């Protein structure tokens, strides 16, 4: 269709020129004392030539005026292309572990006066991996962009650097500055704070952050459970009195309270503070849910006010776990505490027949001493030392 229109226009121009050539009209230009007479066809041609020439001159002048801006734009686009190429090189080298090359490529991109915050961030991360901390900090300080995006990238990088250097308080300050800049909490930011609070030993904050991450499905359930258990264990160990342990146990979810390690740690703490009743209940509740041979061994170390009931409970468990050395040892200790010498000796010897242990020999030695059998007690102590 386009070619047909051009052909029609050429035919129209030819007809117009033929008609004009046969036209006897002329143009008379008078400027005293000059007088110029031109045919109409020649006048039209000259007029068109003048218009086209003038248009061309104007275009050349405008192009010359725009030349500096065009040159600047060309150079800027070329610098941008070079910077993007360098960024690709820097990122490729960084993820391949060639941190020196990554840092040099990013630094070269910065020299091109590119405003993107990516270049100094990549350079700082590479310098951090090379343990060149002064250069790393210089790259971060050189970031002039104060936009929210640039501030977020800079402070997140700074927080990661502080965590790698085991400076959780520095990381927490960076994250606090990030919140102050208007950034709302998001999973990556919460995960960084979780690591910082863990390093700082702020276990209440760790538990709060775990709850937030679990609510957003932003943490592996197994990892969350393991870290939650560690946090509760550390909280128990931080308590300085029995009231603190009781508050901790009251706040603790049941699924954690019954776990063997937590029950054992809490029971040992309450025994240390002189309350065997709480320890005995903790151990009983935990063992009824999760049987643990090491945990049952503690059961005999916390005789409560009703040792007979404890013995009955332990003998009930013995029907279910007849060959558990820890359970037999606990029964021996409880019977020893209740002065049931014969039963104590039977249970302790049964425990040794299943698995010889330092604790069982020591308890038998104590039993022999109470029965006035010094030589026998000495032999048991020797056997206990031999197992260490």
For residue 299, pLDDT beyond 60: yes
d(CA 71, CA 65): 11
- Using a pLDDT cut of 90, give the percent of the chain over it: 21
Confidence band for 294, pLDDT divided at 50, 70 and 90 = confident
pLDDT, tens digit, 9 for 90 and up, residues 150-208: 888 889 999 999 999 999 999 999 999 988 888 888 888 999 999 999 999 999 999 99
d(CA 141, CA 161): 14
| Residue predicted with more confidence, 240 or 304 | 240
CA distances 232 to 69, 197, 220, 241, 257, Å, are: 66, 14, 18, 16, 9
pLDDT recorded at residue 190: 92
Confidence band for 356, pLDDT divided at 50, 70 and 90 = confident
SS3 131: coil
Q: Token match 């049941």: residue?
A: 254
For residue 20, pLDDT beyond 60: no
Mean pLDDT in residue range 83-110: 86
d(CA 359, CA 330): 10
SS3 355: coil
d(CA 271, CA 238): 15
pLDDT recorded at residue 280: 86
d(CA 240, CA 231): 16
Asked whether 65 and 96 are in contact (CB, 8 A), the reply is no
d(CA 200, CA 175): 14
Asked whether 80 and 64 are in contact (CB, 8 A), the reply is no
SS3 1: coil
The encoded tokens of residue 24 equal: 């006897």
Asked whether 121 and 87 are in contact (CB, 8 A), the reply is no
| Residue predicted with more confidence, 368 or 82 | 368
pLDDT recorded at residue 77: 67
Least confident of 75-89, 117-131, 242-256: 75-89
Confidence band for 382, pLDDT divided at 50, 70 and 90 = confident
């Amino acid at each position: 269709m386009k070619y047909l229109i051009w052909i029609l226009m050429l035919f129209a121009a030819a007809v117009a020129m033929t008609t004009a050539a046969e036209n006897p009209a002329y143009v008379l230009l008078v400027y005293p004392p000059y007088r110029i007479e031109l045919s109409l066809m020649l006048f039209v041609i000259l007029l068109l030539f003048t218009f086209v020439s003038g248009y061309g001159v104007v275009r050349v002048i405008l192009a010359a005026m725009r030349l500096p801006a065009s040159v600047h734009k060309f150079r800027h686009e070329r610098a941008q292309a070079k910077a993007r190429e360098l960024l690709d090189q820097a990122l490729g080298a960084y993820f391949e572990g060639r941190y020196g090359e990554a840092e040099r490529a990013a630094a070269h991109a910065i020299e091109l006066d590119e405003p993107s915050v990516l270049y100094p961030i990549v350079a700082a991360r590479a310098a951090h991996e090379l343990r060149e901390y002064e250069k790393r900090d210089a790259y971060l300080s050189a970031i002039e962009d104060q936009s929210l995006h640039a501030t977020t990238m800079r402070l997140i990088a700074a927080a990661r650097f502080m965590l790698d250097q085991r400076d959780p308080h520095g990381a927490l300050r960076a994250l606090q500055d990030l919140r102050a800049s208007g950034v709302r909490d998001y999973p990556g930011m919460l995960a960084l704070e979780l690591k910082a609070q863990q390093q700082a030993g702020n276990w209440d904050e760790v538990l709060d952050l775990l709850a937030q991450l679990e609510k957003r499905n932003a943490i592996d359930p197994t990892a969350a459970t393991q870290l939650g258990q560690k946090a509760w264990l550390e909280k128990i160990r931080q308590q300085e009195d029995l009231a603190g342990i009781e508050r901790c146990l009251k706040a603790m979810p049941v699924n954690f309270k019954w776990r063997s390690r937590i029950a054992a740690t809490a029971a040992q703490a309450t025994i240390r503070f002189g309350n065997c009743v709480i320890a005995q209940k903790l151990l009983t509740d935990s063992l009824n849910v999760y049987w643990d041979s090491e945990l049952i061994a503690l059961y005999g170390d916390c005789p409560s006010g009703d040792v007979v009931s404890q013995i009955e409970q332990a003998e009930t468990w013995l029907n279910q776990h007849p060959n558990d050395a820890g359970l037999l040892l606990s029964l021996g200790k409880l019977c020893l505490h209740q002065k049931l010498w014969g039963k104590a000796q039977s249970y302790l010897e049964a425990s040794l027949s299943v698995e010889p242990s330092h604790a069982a020999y020591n308890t038998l030695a104590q039993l022999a001493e109470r029965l006035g059998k010094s030589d026998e007690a000495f032999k048991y102590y020797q056997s206990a030392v031999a197992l260490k």
